[in-house]
Structure 1
């Protein structure tokens, strides 16, 4: 059995037709049919329900399809990683969500550049969902995000949890409560959420935090990005929930108040490909923990084993 047999089989399953699959693969239909028949003979089972329209897999065929897709995905992952490792000009590309630039990510990347002067470090802004796909396609090597998205092709490490705050105009009653507020205190306020990119995103994360406490904000409006949300808050239009690190964004009359609920946190994740155990990734982890130590930020060190 060869990878091309798996590609042929997957194409037939997804197109539900030998004719359409042959067109997609740019081969004639008779050779494709023979390859599938040879595959069935090798396995000793029938993969397709004969005579079904559109073409359907047998239970065994469906099982084989699911694992064939995984094998093909792993093969592409191995190919992209091998190309990167064999490249003379070593490049590490990091995907990140924009809000992390207000926190410690710039310091981590700067330290990493000092320790890895032979590497070209590239930063690409993208949401967490885009990062997962980019990792699988070999377009990035590391992703920094806030959402808990699982995929069998990647490994996700939670670096720490960042407390959330509420932004309000200085004349808003909440601004006087400098010691902090609870979610129940702000659930009925006019609230700006961000971003307005395809979900899931940070706005859905904020809403889920309310939901877990049995609360549902009803007066919400989703805007493009955090700067726009905070500008509207500074104009007295409402309030906004942000990660603590974003309190460095300054507008006149804008105040930040801690949210006291223990659930009001936003996790920060680092995601890599499953097969990536390179020395470059281990050093990146070291840089992260070194910055956390300097800032006195609690974290649980993840054991990352690099190849010897």
Structure 2
């Protein structure tokens, strides 16, 4: 969810005037209004009732916007816990495995930019084989990794816990299932992630294990499934970040996938601390906004 749009909506809920609310954020009224509309579409209901004379909150707005204000305050407080003045370095190299932080990216970027306005975030693509080693070697400053163990020498903060999905060939008898169990897939062959982490074998260990096809990065799973006819395993955001006409994503029972922010224990630079704090804050805000 776009943290800027949330800030715009909270300001509008207080001013009940599009022009004044837009001015408070140094943005023109038309793009301000478009961001409010996009937020309402994402939520699935209007937050504001507009007439030619006034703006009022809808019942949904009265329920949602105080909650959004609380979450925004928590976001700011969590990031401000990083000690010291705003950071003035220019570069932070972020190793990204697969979709990384998925839908949290806009919020994390906004929080980092607010704290470190001169900092450039540079993405470095990782695969399962080097997701930890790129950090250990200094190729990247912080890494977004599939947390499958084997990184006791690094500092890992679990940012996301994601439902697992089977990646199924579009022509398979499993493609139209609403949900799959291990019994449903027990006799099927699988593609498997390749990497030195001990937990990868457990993550990919489904079915009978015969003749697995190896893949080295999350983005390669759908193509491997489509071309081999085997099944694959992925986390929920892959449905949107790695679409493929030859596969279907079907919920599968089992432990969730963990996405973590990793850094070196001795690296105490403020840019690293700010990024870690922003990821924690964004994950907390996301849980609070979508929770009951």
Q: Is this a same-fold pair by TM over 0.5?
A: yes
Equivalent-residue separation in structure 1 for 2:268 and 2:124 (angstroms): 22
Q: Deviations over 1:193-244 (max 9, x none)?
A: 24x5x43388534235x4xxxx643242224544544235346823211111
Secondary structure class of the residue paired with 2:191: strand
2:95–2:123 contact (8 Å) kept in structure 1: yes
Equivalent-residue separation in structure 2 for 1:183 and 1:289 (angstroms): 32
Secondary structure class of the residue paired with 1:130: coil
**Superposed displacement of residue 259, structure 1:** 0.9
1:188–1:219 contact (8 Å) kept in structure 2: no
Tell me which residue corresponds to 1:276.
Answer: 267
Change (3 A) 1:274 1:251: closer
2:159–2:260 contact (8 Å) kept in structure 1: yes
Q: Is there any run of 5+ residues in structure 2 with no aligned partner, and where?
A: 1-86
RMSD over aligned CA atoms reads 3.4
2:149–2:197 contact (8 Å) kept in structure 1: no
Q: Deviations over 1:25-56 (max 9, x none)?
A: xxxxxxxxxxxxxxxxxxxxxxxxxxxxxxxx
Larger relative contact order, structure 1 or 2 (CA cutoff 8 Å, min sep 6): 2
Secondary structure class of the residue paired with 2:130: helix
2:96–2:126 contact (8 Å) kept in structure 1: yes
Change (3 A) 1:229 1:277: closer
Name which of 211, 215, 222 aligns with 1:230: 222
Change (3 A) 1:231 1:278: closer
Q: Structure 2 matches for 1:68-107, cutoff 5 A? A: 89-100=89-100, 103-104=102-103, 106-107=105-106
Secondary structure class of the residue paired with 2:92: strand
**Superposed displacement of residue 189, structure 1:** 0.9
Tell me which residue corresponds to 1:221.
Answer: 213
Change (3 A) 1:140 1:229: closer
Tell me which residue corresponds to 2:155.
Answer: 155
**Superposed displacement of residue 258, structure 1:** 0.6
**TM-score, reference length from structure 1:** 0.54
Secondary structure class of the residue paired with 2:237: helix
Tell me which residue corresponds to 1:117.
Answer: 117
Change (3 A) 1:150 1:202: closer
Equivalent-residue separation in structure 1 for 2:172 and 2:141 (angstroms): 44
Q: Deviations over 1:65-101 (max 9, x none)?
A: xxxxxxxxxxxxxxxxxxxxxx975322211213426
Higher-Rg structure is: 1
2:97–2:127 contact (8 Å) kept in structure 1: yes
**Superposed displacement of residue 245, structure 1:** 1.0
Change (3 A) 1:105 1:202: farther
Q: Is there any run of 5+ residues in structure 1 with no aligned partner, and where?
A: 1-86, 299-308
